[in-house]
Amino acid sequence: MLVGGRGVPLWSRCVRLLSPHCAEAPSSLRAAAAVRCHPGRTFNTGSCRLLQSRGPSGTETAIGTAGKLVRNGGDKKAVICIEGNIASGKTTCLEYFSKTSNIEVLTEPVSKWRNVRGHNPLALMYQDPKRWGITLQTYVQLTMLDRHLSSVSAPVRMMERSIFSAKYIFVENLFRSGKMPEVDFAVLSEWFDWITTNISIPVDLIVYLQTSPQTCYERLKQRCREEEKVIPLEYLESIHHLYEDWLIKQTSFPLPAPVLVIPADHDLQNMLHQYEENRDKILAGSCLL
Ligand SMILES: Nc1ncnc2c1ncn2[C@@H]1O[C@H](COP(=O)(O)OP(=O)(O)O)[C@@H](O)[C@H]1O
Ligand SMILES: Nc1ccn([C@H]2C[C@H](O)[C@@H](COP(=O)(O)O)O2)c(=O)n1
């Protein structure tokens, strides 16, 4: 295992734990404070509760000491985000860990993205990204925020992706590829900046399932989700490069947490073995299990 390595070649079999370049990132899963990864800005939201409220889907929030909205009781729970390209095996990984007691698993709300009051913004986005990209990504941002803020029922929460990858990977990809008008990108960016400035979204560890785009392409075809039949290999390559820049090279956007890299091109049995081998590293430091 290499700790804190950068730019290590792809597809190596070893697992790596990379620290965020940002000096203010949470130091361990025990971190009680929610910290934003921006130079010179640290928000400690771990203690005082001034106001409390309960929203839809069991969201319980309070105002913390820094004036940020915080999830009630969130300071005592570890949050692990599983990140990776489309069809890299995130859901399969979460299914594996869902069998562990004391771990709560939250998959991406894809069913909502496929059906919001009878509409399918995911399908619309793939059909005409210029027109519907903003529609899907606005809804993704809302539903991911809802996931982050929903009340935690176990000492450890493992969730599929995050509000951060929604913005840094998918919105960014639409914009950079010329499939999102500048005004749509500006509006989404304003929303994202407001949310991350005013709401505490603590993440303690990112587990990056690192795959080749080709592997994802094959798994995508095998999964055969109707909306995704139009996805070309080039799309997965773009998503891959954005993930690598963010989580491996660490040259694009701030990291909300340290990154554990798990090479994920291997067959299912091998992957399950790797998950078992890395169980302690993934859950390390929570002091709650
Ligand atoms: N290690 C693996 N080897 C082969 N197929 C896999 C592996 N992991 C997942 N799959 C299959 O690939 C497809 C995508 O996996 P999934 O877990 O849904 O990915 P994601 O949640 O990242 O989109 C599914 O059909 C799944 O059964
Ligand atoms: N911000 C996002 C997040 C996901 N998507 C798309 C990509 C896939 O088609 C689908 C679900 O992703 P998976 O869990 O299979 O990796 O949603 C998006 O367009 N924007």
Torsion 161-73-112-37 (CA) sign: negative
Q: What is the pLDDT of residue 37?
A: 37
Whether 160 is catalytic is: yes
Pocket of ligand 1 (CB under 6 A): 84, 86-92, 219, 222-223, 266-268, 271
The CA-based angle 220-94-145, given to 5 degrees, is 90
pLDDT in tens, 61-114: 677 767 788 876 656 789 999 999 999 999 999 999 999 999 999 999 999 999
pLDDT at 271 over 50: yes
Catalytic residue among 83, 104, 108, 160: 160
Q: What is the pLDDT of residue 226?
A: 96
Reported as a pLDDT band with limits 50, 70 and 90, residue 16 is low
Task: Note the ipTM here.
Answer: 0.99
Q: Distance from the CA of 185 to the center of ligand 1, in angstroms?
A: 30
All domains of the chain in start order, with CATH: 36-287 (3.40.50.300)
Q: Distance from the CA of 177 to the center of ligand 1, in angstroms?
A: 26
pLDDT at 27 over 50: no
- What does the mean pLDDT of the chain come to? 82
Helix (H, G, I), strand (E, B) or coil at 80: strand
